[in-house]
Structure 1
Amino acid sequence: MSTVAIHTLGCKVNSYESQAMLKEFVEHGYNEVDFKSEADVYVINTCTVTNTGDSKSRQMIRKAIRNNPNAIVCVVGCYSQIAPDEIEAIEGVSVVLGTQYRNQIMQFVEQYQETKETIIKVDNVMNLQKFEDLNIDRFKNTRAYIKIQDGCNNFCTYCIIPYARGRVRSRIKESVLEQIATLVKKGYVEIVLTGIHTAGYGEDFEDYNFYCLLKDIVQIEGLKRLRISSIEISQLTKEIMELIEDSHIIVDHLHVPLQSGHDATLKRMNRKYNTEQYLAKIKEIKEHIPTVKFTTDVIVGFPGETVEEFEGTYAFIQKVGFSMLHVFPYSIRKNTPASKMKDQVNDQIKHERTTRLVQLSNQLLEETSKQAIGETYEVLFEKKVGDGYIGHATNYLQVVVESDKNIIGTIQKVVVESYDEKLKGRVVE
């Protein structure tokens, strides 16, 4: 039997697309093996959000070629889309696809097997109108992801993704609802909606938007839990808040990207809100969903970020009261407006500021966790760790319990009893 090994860099959308490509290979009789092993075909699903993403992508391509110089090496994804020439220049690459044609990857592999000629299939994504359907019916986790849209219309000045993914294209509702119903029947108890700009779903439709989709999803029979991977604060409308408030299915955790907590920086980033609007929306959400927990993304060292701007961001994060931060040092992306801005911040300052925010994130998580002691949560258990089982509550806090029976893939009611680097609790029978 032929073998395939896939390595994924970057976001949850990439992970989803890798699983969809793996499904194609499995259906054609391939057996998946570890990327460190010798395989007949290697697929590297690349990322280009940062310079580190580019570098790691090239590193994994070369690793695949070293593992088996005779293998078919396929390079796909955002880095391929932005810099196909750089990838083509690496000796040993067989197939290069951008952020399209992944549902045809087997055809290109078979074509290469016949001709032994390098295939480059990278088209302009800016004029794309149609969503590329990629279905998955198996996940390695107890939660299942479903990609509902691709592309982004925001064009933040630091971001390369609209140029790698194109403008918003939404999956038709029938396809989304059918896919979720199938996953629920297969036993997945939590569904995570994901996309490049998830709540931008429907921007390309006339009379159907993200709220309409949520309203339809929560009606699906047997669905126990629904999570939104990320949502812009400006897209949390009153009707969405009320739906989350009224629904026992949509969880009380929202990942709402901030990027900066200072108005001058936000303006240079071309974000669609200021700090006053962001904070007002956070307060409004808390009024509707008192138990809600927020996580966020923050970029440090954006061009022109002064000490005052960074300290403003630090103080604003404390004011909001996130439970955790994802911190990214700014990375110059070629041809984006921010790459041409004056006053680029040096790497040492970026590192110092990143360290401070990571420490703040650890502090916020500890404070949030200690506040959870004595509370009762519904926890979806995902894996065994030592003598215990670990899972996520609806608010995304991780909880560990001991149990005599295997509770992986089940939702259990848990009383949180203590915190020592991790929350520990006991299952309530």
Structure 2
Amino acid sequence: MKVKDGKAHRYAKLLVYGCQMNVSDAERMEGQLETIGYEPTEEMTEADLILINTCCVRESAEDRVYGKIGEIKHLKEKNPALIFGITGCMAQKEGEALIRRAPHIDFVLGTNKVHELTRVVQEIAAERGHVVDVQPGETELPEGGPVARQNKFSVWVPIMYGCNNFCTYCIVPYVRGRERSRRPEDVVAEVREAVRQGAKEVTLLGQNVNSYGKDHKLADFADLLKMVDAVPGIERVRFMTSHPKDLSDKLIETIRTGRHICEHIHLPVQYGSDRILRAMHRIYTVADYRALVGRIRAALPEVSLTTDLIVGFPGETEEDFAQMLAFLEEIRYDSAYTFLYSKRSGTPAAEMADQVPEALKHERLERLMTVQDAISREKNEALKGRTLEVLVEGPSKHDAAVWSGRTRTNKLVLFPHGAEQPGDLVEVNITHPQTWVLKGETVASR
């Protein structure tokens, strides 16, 4: 606890690793901490409480967390009253093993225990013991809790938790549990409240949003999207992530006829050969995926398609990889998130034979990125001279005189700052398209 201006203050520092769902969970945790008197800080040395919300999808994410845990040990030695906790997917996976490895950790909370944070922090503050809670949570997480939004104009809203797909490379179903959908009225109520507080854009989150509602059968994802699109004051509606096996023609039509639903679909294919897709347990073929993309582009000619790709999955041959490159040339994504396959203990792929050597993984990744970067550049070059609607985010990372924002198709745009403010919708004429960004000049705003 620090004294400033004659008043006592308690500060909390949250470190977040991993996906958008982890960011959303952290906003809910920070909201809870504010209800018991903690203020956010950017300085770990100032913090009375440090919380790491973790990811374990890739080994590199775990390595970064362990490095940070070691760093915080020194802070704890200087300030024994500091409360230090681990939450998220790595907490769920490792449980008590984290405290055995690093006894300076005070508590470990699993992925279904976000709503227990304030209780646990108060218990630690009073008794200074260890708490580990990674048991499966309730079927439905409590609604209506506080949320400390990091961005008031563009917000994350989870619509479901967990995953039922059990792809052979993925740890998510084991650490986040089976799919549980929020009730549609609860999702819409959260969106309404976010808009009341100034939100212009909402992104609906789930490991596989297309299977929303299969458990409670109150509404499917297309129904929910239509409800959110109708919220007064909303300007843009986004969603992620989509599993190709569940993206319906009804959903495509809902996007086509929606007023505020953005023309961007993140559609992870993961690989471009049927043999590897079967080994990954992806439940679709290259032909299935190709046909789906055809239906999407027929209905949404301006759509931006992005994807995830994994290089070096066990058993990957040069022939498989050649099929992957040919598939990229055929589908022509606007951009792709590319990953080296990373072993995750507890997943079937970790035990598969024919693990690909690391050097070969890196060499293939470079080849893949060269192909995709060229396609991304060509896609962006086609936008030169176009005037696009951009939602202003704020100053760019490298130059305060240059501001950034995103198009409806989720393209990052840089432009000279004038009178625009975060949250404004402006029209930008694209003058200098590049591989990863578009640069332009504002022509109007509203």
**Counterpart pick for 1:416 among 401, 417, 430:** 430
Q: Give the structure-1-normalised TM-score.
A: 0.96
Q: Which residue of structure 2 lines up, in the alignment, with residue 87 of structure 1?
A: 98
Equivalent residues in 2 for 1:296-335, closer than 5 Å: 296-335=307-346
Q: Is residue 2:286 matched to residue 1:272?
A: no
AA partner of residue 251 (structure 1): C
Match of 2:404 in 1: 390
Distance 2:171 2:127 in 1: 34
Question: Contact between 1:131 and 1:170, CA under 8 Å: does it hold in 2?
Answer: no
Pair 1:47 & 2:40 matched: no
Give a deviation string over 1:270-307, Cα, whole Å, max 9, x none: 00211011011101100000000111001111110001
Q: Secondary structure at the match of 2:296?
A: helix
Q: How many percent identity over aligned positions?
A: 30
Retained in 2: the 8 A contact 1:141–1:382?
no
Q: 2:157 matched to which residue of 1? A: 146
8 Å CA contact 1:131–1:150 kept in 2: the answer is no
State TM-score, norm by structure 2: 0.92
2:139 to 124, 129, 135: 129
1:135 Cα deviation from its structure 2 partner? 4.8
In the alignment, residue 164 of structure 1 is paired with which amino acid? V
Secondary structure in structure 2 of the residue aligned to 1:273: coil
Question: Post-superposition shift, 1:141?
Answer: 5.7
Query: 3-state SS of the aligned residue for 2:409?
Result: coil
**RMSD of the alignment, in Å?**
1.6
Partners of 2:385 and 2:431 within 8 A in 1: yes
Instruction: Answer yes or no: is 1:425 the counterpart of 2:433.
Output: no
Structure 1 position 119 matched with structure 2 position 131: yes
Residue 340 (1) aligns with residue 351 (2): yes
CA displacement 1:219-238 (0-9 Å, x = unmatched): 11111100112211222211
Report SS of the residue matched to 1:156. coil
Aligned match of 1:164: 175
Residues 331 and 288 (structure 1), Cα distance of their counterparts in 2 relative to 1, 3 Å cut? same
Deviates more, 1:263-272 or 1:221-230: 221-230
Match runs of 1:56-67 below 5 Å:
56-67=64-75
> Gaps spanning 5+ residues in structure 2: where?
1-8
Give the aligned residue type for 2:124: Y
Q: How many residues matched?
A: 427
Give the counterpart letter for 2:103 in structure 1: E
Residue from 5, 14, 17 that aligns with 1:9: 17
Contact 2:96 2:108 (8 Å CA) reproduced: no
Counterpart Cα distance in 1 of 2:434 and 2:92: 45
Deviations 1:61-101 (A, max 9, x none): 22222233321111011111111133111120001111122
Distance 2:53 2:168 in 1: 25
Question: 1:198, 1:231 within 8 Å by CA — same for their partners in 2?
Answer: yes
Distance 1:63 1:364 in 2: 41
Structure 2 Cα separation of the partners of residues 85 and 354 of structure 1: 36
Whether the 8 Å CA contact 1:152–1:196 is kept in 2: the answer is: yes
Q: Which runs of 5+ in 1 are unaligned?
A: none
After superposition, the Cα gap between the structure-2 partners of 1:51 and 1:131, relative to the gap in structure 1 and judged at 3 Å, is same
- Contact 2:207 / 2:240 at 8 angstroms: preserved in 1? no
CA contact (8 A) 1:135 1:179 kept: no
Letter paired with 2:415: V
SS of match in other structure, 1:37: helix
